[in-house]
Structure 1
Amino acid sequence: MLQNNPGLKSKIDQLWNKFWSGGISNPLTAIEQITYLLFMKRLDEQDLKRQSDAEFTGEKYNSKFEGSWIPPEYRARWDDKDSADEWAKKLLDEKRFAIDKHTLRWSEFKRLQAQNMLQHVQGKVFPFLKDLNGAESNFTHHMKNAVFVISKPALLVEAVKTIDEIFEIMETDSRENGQAFQDIQGDVYEMLLSEIATAGKNGQFRTPRHIIKLMAELVQPQLGHKIADPACGSGGFLLGAYQYIVTQLALSNMKKGTGTKELSPDEDGFLRTSVAAALTEKAQAILQESLWGYDIDSTMVRLGLMNLMMHGLDEPHIDYKDTLSKSYNEEAEYDIVMANPPFTGSIDKSDINENLQLATTKTELLFVENIYRLLKKGGTACVIVPQGVLFGSGSAFKILRQLLVVRCDLKAVITLPSGVFKPYAGVSTAMLLFTKVWGPQDKVTQPATEHVWFYEMATDGYSMDDKRSKQEGYGDLQDIVAKYHARNPATDTDRTAKYFTVPRTSIETEGYDLSFSRYTKDVFEEVHYDEPSMILDRLIQAEIGELEEMEMAKVQGGIVRQLLELKGIVG
């Protein structure tokens, strides 16, 4: 986590302060502008690395910075009405406004003087960035309305310098700790959100990376799975699934003797890598089509696209959509859904998708029902919800829990400590892990769930205050992974432990209550007391002893007084 790298945290603090003092004080505007710069830097580094790898392996690689780029407004368009002279003029204009792509590299423009750098980035580099994947691409579509708002040359120069320093720290971490390129953009986003007291009013809480990694270990996405996050924000869950799959492929290659580097556990005990260069072209193509994300915030969509592109996905499938609205009709599409949907309270009843059957406007309930609908039969979801979903007494709460138990195989309910989402919020949350068995229109012949595995996480390896400092060990993270995959209804029966299984029949009896406290049993230490007569005897003896001491004190006091009188000290 960002908090545990003081050098990186300090640099991001500096970057934020420079944008604030430079007149860009809106956190989301600041992070969007910073992300553009991070993306420019990462794009240059990735391209140079791919060029180097291609030279080493002898494979062909077409650099994004080779040749010339013509801004869309100057590209020649053939028109049947154009004369030969008009067409020749168009071609001449096209040639005149062509820009050498090499000059658009971060490593090139960062050498320019302040004013020239600003003009170059504003007028050439940023338009090139927006047009990066071609006019028809999803990325270009969502970047259409993006604006580069840095207007002060000094701010741009300082930002470029600080980002270079941030990357140097990341590279040092990679060399010294054996970690792959971290989610820099996510770290910046996390840091900026922590700067504002109003963060989270719109539900934009970034899920900590170690929680995402835990959820990926539980659902175990595989190459070829179609994976979605219907409220993806900056793309953290999609990136988490991507890294899990890449890591499993890398481990498989190592077992075959084709791997290049042994992986070591990260600070949370997980094996992870983002390096997909060793994957076959077929595997990369499958991965490209595996990840799908949606969000209702256009800024988040752009951040999510760039986040995944910075990690090696050339054309991510992240789109602007309200997945609870009438305009979104996907159903039974995905093998895996991982999500931490926003808990914003209520939404406009008139715009709720009519396929959602719950009679409620509470988003935490609607999102879970929608995720159930998005899953294919046999598909699995891991979703973070407020703990109130587990025991809420309203009819919509009960109907949703019944749906999860009857139409799904509800595999696990894992409660999280309230400090997991600090410094943004102290809300108590839980993970729901379920597999879809019966569709919405299917006639249920047998409830899908037989047993539910409960686990109460006490710690996630970080302090539960706003600082969220790394503690020694992994907390309960690795224990949850191990115990979940080894769960056994026949042996996990101790209701006084922090994990156990509960049969469906017991859950039905309790009105489908899914709270851990409903099924746990408190441990009372048996205390043995003496017979009342013995206790009374001890009290009497104690009282007699006190009386004897008092009498002795009186006698001693009388003797002392007599002695003092004999000496004439007292009258």
Structure 2
Amino acid sequence: MITREIKNNVDKIWETFWTGGITNPLTVIEQLTYLLFMKWIDEIEKTKEQEADILGLDYEGLLPKNKQHLRWHHLMQLESPEEMYAVVSKEVFPALNELNGTDGLVFSKYMGNAIFMIPTANMLAKVVEIIDNIPMKDSDTLGDLYEYILSKLSTGTSGQFNTPRHIINMIVDLMNPTPKDSIIDPAMGSAGFLIGSSDYIRDHHGDMFFEQDFVDHFNNTMFYGNDIDCTMLSIGAMNMMLHGVSNQNIEYCDSLSEMNKDIEKYTLVLSAPPFGGLLDYKVVSNDLLKIVKTKKTELLFLLLFIRLLKKGGRAAVIVPSGVLFGKTNAHKQIRKEIIENHKLEAIISMPSGIFKPYSGVTTAVMIFTKTGVGGTKNVWFFEMTADGYSLGSKRNPIGENDIPEIIARFSNLEAEKKRKRTEQSFLVSVEELRNNEYDLSINKYKKIEYEELEYDSPKLILDRIQELEEDIIQGIIDLKKILND
């Protein structure tokens, strides 16, 4: 667990950047990520040097012998902030850029785009001093540390559309990743879904880490992520690395374009793709447009998920509510495709405040299995009204939380057959979905019980008003008498 002291150190770093004029949260995280990488690499090098020394072996480090002075512990020995600034800006960053993945660490592939943006020597010295006091050897602490750093995005104005961690954890729990899964998020951002899945595997299948074949799979072929934002790729790669996944498959890729050649490669898709975008047909993969011709990114990503999955593969993805009830041919076609040609299992409607402060858009979790031959019989609907946080812009913790019930009910859908349409969750048959043009809005099927209320007659209400008015008048008369006496 991250300690209060470490949180305070991160807050001090944030304040240092902010007061120094760097106010974009994404820029702060990017610069902090590069500095953390510098320290982390130095810790790795020290460990390997010690091991080689014990075994009496030679060890050739990541940096050549003539650049050992660029390592973190040497920077801490420099005499002045100005000297440190000159070394970091003119030598350290270029040297790290040259690594370009040759160290076997995915993160260093994205150092080639790293731009040193800390404006003054004193700011750099202050941030480096604080980072030096943060322990880097405990992987759990490192992961929690970086999650705390990324949480700063939710209170800033960077425009990044992060999925709240507790929503990610809910979706991961619903899907129950297995040690055999190959998991992808083709719009990965900071890699939250991949992190949630790796944590779930560690918590529920810890015994598998004694088997070398599984360890190789976990570190090399279990987790995949794509993004078109190089800053988010470096942040996501660092996030995965600090959470103990050493060689994740994170790549720059426009997932919806011809650049993406993946077909039936993965067993699990977890994602919250971009909402509301419109793409030119020319930049979209023809494989996707052959199924449904649309420019809408939220619909194109659903088509992509189907293409990425192996037969029997599963998907749990966040979509804007318009996907569920949109009346265009494209909306109807994609819903029909999933319902008729695959197995749609669940629609979990979420309240509009889930993504605040970024957006008030209403969203839903869609869960389906790729079959290619249909299989949808009944679809489970749940109307989430609370997720443990207030639905305003500040998202403060509250007592009401539907998430535990969602997970419990989804794990026992047989019992849901008895639920009434007036309740918070229920099943809807595929026949009824067909009859309603595959509309997946819960309000289409939910029934509301109206309680009959009886009111007094207008005459009786008027009589009571008259009595009250007479009492008021009499009170005024009595007060006047008292004043005149």
TM-score scaled by length of structure 2: 0.84
Deviates more, 1:213-222 or 1:24-33: 24-33
Partner of 1:35: 33
How far off is 1:162 after superposition?
3.3
Question: Is 1:343 matched with 2:275?
Answer: yes
Determine which of 44, 59, 75 is the counterpart of 1:109. 75
CA distance in 1, matches of 2:56, 2:376: 51
The one-letter amino acid paired with 1:239 is I
Q: In structure 1, how many angstroms separate the alpha carbons of the residues matched to 2:318 and 2:49?
A: 41
User: Is this contact kept in 2: 1:337–1:375, CA < 8 A?
Assistant: yes
1:181 CA drift (Å): 4.5
Q: Does the aligned pair in 1 maintain the 2:314–2:370 contact within 8 Å?
A: yes
| Partner-residue secondary structure (3-state), 2:413 | coil
Q: Which amino acid letter does the alignment assign opposite residue 229 of structure 2?
A: D
Change (3 A) 1:205 1:11: farther
Alignment of 1:172-183 (within 5 A): 181-183=142-144
Is the 2:113–2:230 Cα contact (8 Å) retained in structure 1? no
Quick one: distance in 2 between partners of 1:497 and 1:345?
35
The one-letter amino acid of 2:156's match is E
**Map 1:415-454 → 2, pairs under 5 A:** 415-438=349-372, 444=373, 447-454=374-381
- Which of 298, 310, 325 in structure 2 is aligned with 1:364? 298
CA deviation after TM superposition for structure 1 residue 188, in Å: 2.7
Gaps of 5+ in 1: 72-96, 254-277, 439-443
Deviation at 1:32, TM superposition (A): 1.2
Amino acid at match of 2:169: K
Q: How does 1:128-277 map to 2 (within 5 A)?
A: 129-130=96-97, 131=99, 133-134=101-102, 139-164=107-132, 167=134, 181-192=142-153, 194-196=155-157, 199-200=158-159, 204-250=160-206, 252=207
SS at match of 2:369: strand
Whole-Å Cα distance in 2 between the matches of residues 43 and 415 of structure 1?
A: 43
Change (3 A) 1:358 1:435: same
The answer on whether the counterparts of 2:42 and 2:72 sit within 8 Å (CA) in structure 1 is yes
Displacement of 1:128 after TM fit?
A: 5.0
User: Does the 8 A contact of 2:143 with 2:242 survive in 1?
Assistant: no
Range 181-190 or range 387-396, more displaced? 181-190
Q: What RMSD, in angstroms, separates the aligned Cα atoms of the two structures? A: 3.8
Deviation, structure 1 residue 69: 4.6
Change (3 A) 1:142 1:403: same
1:266: which partner in 2? none
Percent identity over paired residues: 37
Q: How far apart, in 1, do the equivalents of 2:12 and 2:82 lie?
A: 22
- Could you tell me which amino acid in structure 2 is paired with residue 115 of structure 1? E
State the match for 2:387 in structure 1.
460
Aligned-pair CA distance for 1:25: 4.5
Between 181-190 and 392-401, the greater mean CA deviation after superposition: 181-190
- Does the aligned pair in 1 maintain the 2:264–2:311 contact within 8 Å? yes
Report the Cα offset of residue 436 of structure 1: 0.4
CA contact (8 A) 2:348 2:365 kept: yes
Length, aligned pairs only: 469
Shift of 1:478: 1.5
TM-fit CA distance, 1:39: 2.5
How far, CA to CA, are the matches of 1:391 and 1:518 in structure 2? 9
Q: 2:396 aligns to what?
A: 469
Q: 1:214 to 1:69 in 2, by over 3 A?
A: closer
Distance 1:61 1:212 in 2: 46
Deviations 1:311-364 (A, max 9, x none): 222222111110111222211111000001111420122111111122211101
Matches of 2:137 and 2:396 in 1, distance apart?
19
Q: TM-score of the superposition, structure 1-length normalised? A: 0.72
Pairs within 5 Å for 1:49-88? 67-70=60-63
Contact in 2 for aligned 1:334/1:376 (Cα 8 Å):
yes
Preserved contact between residue 416 and residue 457 of structure 1 (Cα < 8 Å): yes
Matched, 1:523 2:449: yes
Residues 49 and 425 (structure 1 numbering): CA distance in 2 closer, same or farther, change over 3 Å?
farther
**CA displacement, residues 460-493 of structure 1 (integer Å, 9 cap, x when unaligned):** 11122222222347x1122111110111266343
1:308 aligns with 2:264: no
- 2:82 pairs with 1:121: no
1:93 is aligned to none
Distance 1:417 1:544 in 2: 43
Inter-CA distance 315–168: structure 2 relative to 1 (3 Å threshold): closer
Confirm or deny: 8 A CA contact 1:38 1:185 kept in the other structure: no
1:291 aligns with 2:223: yes
Mark the CA change 1:328 to 1:133 in structure 2 (over 3 Å): closer, same or farther: closer
Contact preservation (8 Å) 1:449, 1:504: yes
Secondary structure of the residue that 2:414 maps to in structure 1? Answer: coil
Q: Distance in 1 between matches of 2:420 and 2:48?
A: 54
Number of the residue aligned with 2:332: 398
Cα drift, residue 164 of structure 1: 4.6
SS at match of 1:432: strand
Name the one with the larger helix percent: 2
Distance apart, 1:43 and its partner CA: 4.3
Q: 2: distance between equivalents of 1:493 and 1:413?
A: 16
- Of 184-193 and 145-154, more deviation after overlay is shown by 184-193
Q: 1:517 to 1:48 in 2, by over 3 A?
A: farther
CA 300–498 in structure 1, closer or farther in 2 if over 3 Å, else same? same
- In the alignment, structure 2 segments of 5+ residues that lack a partner are none
Per the alignment, do residues 49 and 513 of structure 1 end up closer, same or farther by CA in structure 2, a change over 3 Å counting?
A: farther
